[in-house]
Chains A and B, each alone.
Chain A
Amino acid sequence: AQKVTQAQTEISVVEKEDVTLDCVYETRDTTYYLFWYKQPPSGELVFLIRRNSFDEQNEISGRYSWNFQKSTSSFNFTITASQVVDSAVYFCALSEVGGGSYIPTFGRGTSLIVHP
């Protein structure tokens, strides 16, 4: 069965600090997708990135970067020079391809608080 662990329940930083959110996953499938979502106080989940299991290239998008390492089953998310607007709950998710269901399993989320 697939499982996603976000060990950090809450992280508190001061603006302009860099912060890394950890995500460790478990799956028996060789083909799967990994995601990060942001949930601001309004409640709606905002899609940030999708990565498939064949592509271990790291990705950078502005202040956001993602480090995917199959060897450690991790898909960590780094925010560089954090801002108050980054304050939110961040979820990592895994979707297995085997069986064709593609049902995403979410971690419990990491609450990021950025202080001015």
Chain B
Amino acid sequence: DGGITQSPKYLFRKEGQNVTLSCEQNLNHDAMYWYRQDPGQGLRLIYYSQIVNDFQKGDIAEGYSVSREKKESFPLTVTSAQKNPTAFYLCASSIAPPGSDGYTFGSGTRLTVV
């Protein structure tokens, strides 16, 4: 079945460490997105990519980096420059414009700083 796979489900980071969250899709979608979810804040856009080897900053890109070397993969690195990284991270994908089934989301990665 087609879908988006995010891994790991839970991730713990020590102060000063970089960590990478994986996002893979087999839906043949061109566009991929990363969102951060904090309690009461809704979903905030970190980065998005509409085509391989191209990506754009979202509203809260500082302290994060991404790459899009393959259509299927859009990993997110949380760098040590991100001062408050504890959050739930969601990856999504879609065709452009979004089809009748909207945006497809992964099951998320919960990142905690220890």
What B residues does A9 contact at CB under 8 A? 40
Name the contact of A44 in the complex, choosing from B45, B99, B101, B106 (C-beta under 8 A): B106
B94 in the interface (beta carbon within 8 A): yes
B11: shortest Cβ distance to chain A, in Å?
A: 14
Q: Is the CB of B98 within 8 A of A95?
A: yes
Within 8 A of A (CB), among B77-114: 88, 90, 92, 94, 96-108, 110
Interface residues contributed by chain B, number (CB under 8 Å): 29
Stretch at the interface among A14-22, A60-68, A76-84, A97-105: A97-105
Within 8 A of B (CB), among A83-116: 91, 93, 95, 97, 100-109
Q: Is the CB of B40 within 8 A of A108?
A: yes
> Measured between alpha carbons, how far is A100 from B98 in the docked complex, in Å?
11
Q: Is the CB of B42 within 8 A of A107?
A: yes
Q: With A9-B40, A101-B50, A102-B94 known to touch, is A47 a contact of B31 (CB < 8 Å)?
A: no
Q: Is the CB of A102 within 8 A of B107?
A: no
Q: Is the CB of B102 within 8 A of A35?
A: yes
- Give B residues with C-beta under 8 Å from A: 31, 33, 35, 40-43, 45, 48, 50, 58, 88, 90, 92, 94, 96-108, 110
